Structure 1
Amino acid sequence: MFQVSHIHHIAIICSNYEVSKHFYTQILGFPIINETYREARQSYKLDLVITDNQQIELFSFPSPPARPSRPEAQGLRHLAFAVKDLEACIHHLNSQDVPTEDIRLDELTGKRFTFFADPDGLPLELYEE
């Protein structure tokens, strides 16, 4: 039987490595596990901690194609982070000049959430636990 215990990592390809590295480590505060430059690919790979068993892999590649559209393109729609205090997270993002959408209510769960974007426009969600 196929059994999954958790999502190990989310892989993101960015257009500007230094800008995205700053965003994910300094603004969102994800600690760095490892940073590797792969000369043959002219590519950085930055491993970041989300939780004890979940990571973000941030990649840079020369001239990656742009995302087709936001967020209803086929494929991964968005990445959601569970948070305890939605207002505190929104305040932090806004204080770092990261705009957030208005708070919405999930009609199915009754939970509050909002969206914001990374430096490449990747839709990210804060979902209040």
Structure 2
Amino acid sequence: MQITHCLHAALLVSDLEQSTHFYGSILGLPQVDRALKFPGVWYQVGSFQIHLIAAATVPSDRINEDKWGRNRHIAFSVANVQAAQDCLLAHGCPIQTSASGRAALFTQDPDGNMIELSQG
């Protein structure tokens, strides 16, 4: 087997409208068309996609409340982590800076899915 690249990650969300606002308006990801019939929204990030799939409930699997980066998360590269932090705070999003000291922070979508934003 030879895996050549990653295609997408799927995240469960309980409120598609609220999640669409977070990923589309706050994070600024471009939405792409999808042919599937079940409720969801797809976003493009370079050659990679994020698939939001509507679910009645979204179980929390957070195992470390103190260090968000030690939980399951998806990571995005940003041009300026300070600008990303300012944007998130302006929208009332929770943040936690990376404990490693690198230019990175963590936030959560409306369902508690962890998101890493790393400068690079």
Name the TM tier (shorter chain): 0.7 to 0.9
TM-score under structure 2 length normalisation: 0.82
**Unpaired segments ≥5 residues, structure 1:** none
Identity %: 29
How is 1:6-45 mapped onto 2 (pairs within 5 angstroms)? 6-35=5-34, 38=37, 43-45=38-40
Structure with max Cα Rg:
1
| Match for residue 61 of structure 2 among 65, 68, 87 | 68
> Equivalent residue for 1:102?
97
For 2:58 and 2:94, locate their aligned partners in 1 and report how far apart those are by CA, in whole Å.
24
Is contact 1:71–1:77 with CA below 8 Å preserved after alignment?
A: no
Could you tell me which of 43, 50, 54 is aligned with 1:56? 50
Unaligned runs of 5+ in 2: 66-70
1:88 is paired with a residue whose SS is: helix
Distance in 2, matches of 1:47 and 1:65, equals: 18
TM-score, length of structure 1 as denominator length:
0.77
**Is the 2:13–2:58 Cα contact (8 Å) retained in structure 1?**
no
State the shift of 1:71 in Å: 5.0
Contact 1:36–1:46 (Cα < 8 Å) also in 2? no
1:81 aligns with 2:67: no
The CA deviation at 1:104 is 3.3
* CA distance in 1: counterparts of 2:13 and 2:112, whole angstroms: 10
Q: Helix, strand or coil: the match of 1:116?
A: strand
Aligned-pair CA distance for 1:20? 0.5
What residue number does 2:42 align with? Answer: 47
**Counterpart Cα distance in 2 of 1:71 and 1:80:** 17
Deviations 1:47-105 (A, max 9, x none): 11111x100011113x2342233458xxx711111122110111111111112113433
Runs of 4+ in 1 over 3 A off after TM superposition: none
Q: What residue identity is the alignment partner of 2:52?
A: L
What secondary structure is seen at the aligned counterpart in 2 of 1:104? coil
Task: Tell me by how many angstroms 1:3 deviates.
Answer: 2.1
Aligned residue pair count: 115
Determine the structure 2 residue equivalent to 1:4. 3
Counterpart residue identity of residue 91, structure 2:
Q
Task: Calculate the aligned-residue CA RMSD, in Å.
Answer: 2.1
